[in-house]
Chain A
């Protein structure tokens, strides 16, 4: 279980945000919401152990993150990056199998067991039939699903997704949100960043908001996100409306 306690994040010359306390529970999806430059990526890098905490600490199963090797962290926390163009072209199954690295010795290649785990991961996101396609030939939404499958193949109980719905078309955004809801329903701890309050309201039980001046709030999504808090978070008038099927709609005035 990944937990941050009184965490200060940022760089030696500049603290980005302060006093972040957050525990990720199994079976729960948590959203991180905030404008550009509010430190969402910095928070992720700190939680993944890529950036040292300025104050406070991140603990993984009650052990301090700094004391763990990259492989030990990777076996417990999987990271789903934003889809970006790669210069090198791998097949889908090759991309997913990369997640087996923290389970393998430095000289080893993935074997039959790793292949099975990777195929199951692709199956869980409904991408089995794409296994032998080249990754770059897939659509943005399909690529994002493959990257989620890669996180699953790491067999990590905690999954961090960096803006998984960014740069996707309207339908694919909901495909990914449903996939995130399913990850949580299957007992994993999920943390994802988003630019869309509706996505947090739809998929996350709890939400952490980060404002540009470093203020951090966390709580149940439907209490922490309201017209007033969204307006102050983004600096423009925003109103929330009740939509059909209990969905909420955010409208900027």
Chain B
């Protein structure tokens, strides 16, 4: 088996992303043809103006006030969940884990819902989500270390299920306590995951935290490969395993938390995308990370655009990612367990 090509795959992924962006900008209740999109972008950049610009005032609002922030949000969430998933998979040496399987998303959701429940500002909700995510990872580490000696692949997945259901009971309690006329619907719709009500200011904050937590992952992108080796082997290669692991956990959990506090729980993306990308370009993390982000962002953007255009009412994107992700997860799990036996 020869080495897998990286740059051709990267080029194709970027082309697909560009096309999907154009498609997402143009379709919807108010369709905007590609020619108008180019004209409006050119005008925005201070380039050539056409006499038709005045006629396109409403298209201008739809494009820049509604669709562009939503597209940026969808892309960021897909990229963040995929990057976090790739990092967790490396860290736990397990291709079947992801922010949602590990219960990190549930922990972040619990924190964020508590923030909504207490009517905190967005930055505090982000902080609560981060705290909840870290709590979930800590629980998984403690329980996982007690289960040492058993099949690590399955025990980790099962631990995530158990921790996830514990956190879900916390969520249920908060929903029960929430004001049924205004808080409960907000929490419920938000938990299902939606990009409909994303404000451009929130996108800005999310992007900032996303790139801040991406920086250590990007700098450590080569060293991440060593973290996927058995502990003794990584340490004998000169790696301070515990310190590196802590940095990666904080970065990946922060990414998960920001995406959860922006649009609620969107499952499966963080599992399926890095796993599929690993099949495309191999496990080397400095290739896996950028491509997972691009493809994960594109995937999320396709899902969100389908969700808002397929039917008269909007479908929550979490519903569609689960419908696509569950069968793929089962296939991947079967293939992985078969490969081991």
Indicate if A70 sits at the interface (CB-CB under 8 A): yes
Q: Are B238 and A106 in contact (CB under 8 A)?
A: no
Q: Is B155 an interface residue (CB 8 A)?
A: no
Q: Of the 9-residue stretches A15-23, A87-95, A185-193, A194-202, which lies at the interface with chain B? A: A87-95
The answer on a CB contact under 8 Å between B226 and A81 is no
B interface residues, tally (CB under 8 Å): 33
Task: Select the stretch in A107-115, A173-181, A225-233 that faces chain B.
Answer: A107-115
Contact of A132 among B2, B226, B230 (CB under 8 A): B2
**Closest Cβ–Cβ distance, residue A58 to chain B (whole Å):** 14
Pairwise interchain contact A134-B3, C-beta atoms closer than 8 A: yes
Inter-subunit contact A101/B236 (CB<8 Å): no
Count A-side interface residues using an 8 Å CB cutoff: 38
Q: How far is the CB of A96 from chain B (nearest CB, A)?
A: 11
Measured CA separation A77–B228 after assembly (Å): 21
Known: A50-B232, A101-B238, A137-B1. A94 touches B220 (CB 8 A): no
Bound-state Cα–Cα, A59 to B291, Å: 45
- State A71–B239 Cα separation when bound (angstroms): 6
B284 within 8 A of A: yes
Whether A109 contacts B222 by the Cβ 8 Å rule is yes
**Known: A102-B237, A106-B223, A132-B3. Contact between A91 and B93, CB under 8 A?**
no
A133 to B282, CA, bound (A): 11
The one of A71, A78, A88 that contacts B90, using a Cβ cutoff of 8 Å: A88
Q: Say which residue of A77, A87, A110 sits within 8 Å of B222 (CB atoms).
A: A110
Q: CB within 8 Å of A: which residues of B?
A: 1-3, 90, 93-95, 219-223, 225-226, 228-230, 232-233, 235-240, 244, 278, 282-284, 286, 336, 340
Q: Give me 27 A-to-B residue pairs in the complex whose CB atoms sit less than 8 angstroms apart, sorted by A's number.
A: A50-B235, A69-B240, A70-B238, A71-B238, A71-B240, A74-B236, A77-B236, A79-B233, A79-B237, A81-B230, A84-B230, A85-B340, A86-B229, A87-B228, A90-B282, A94-B282, A94-B284, A98-B229, A98-B237, A101-B223, A101-B237, A101-B238, A102-B237, A106-B220, A133-B3, A134-B2, A154-B237
Give the 9 A-B residue pairs with the shortest CB-CB distance, closest first. Answer: A74-B238, A102-B238, A79-B236, A88-B283, A107-B219, A71-B238, A137-B1, A109-B222, A134-B1
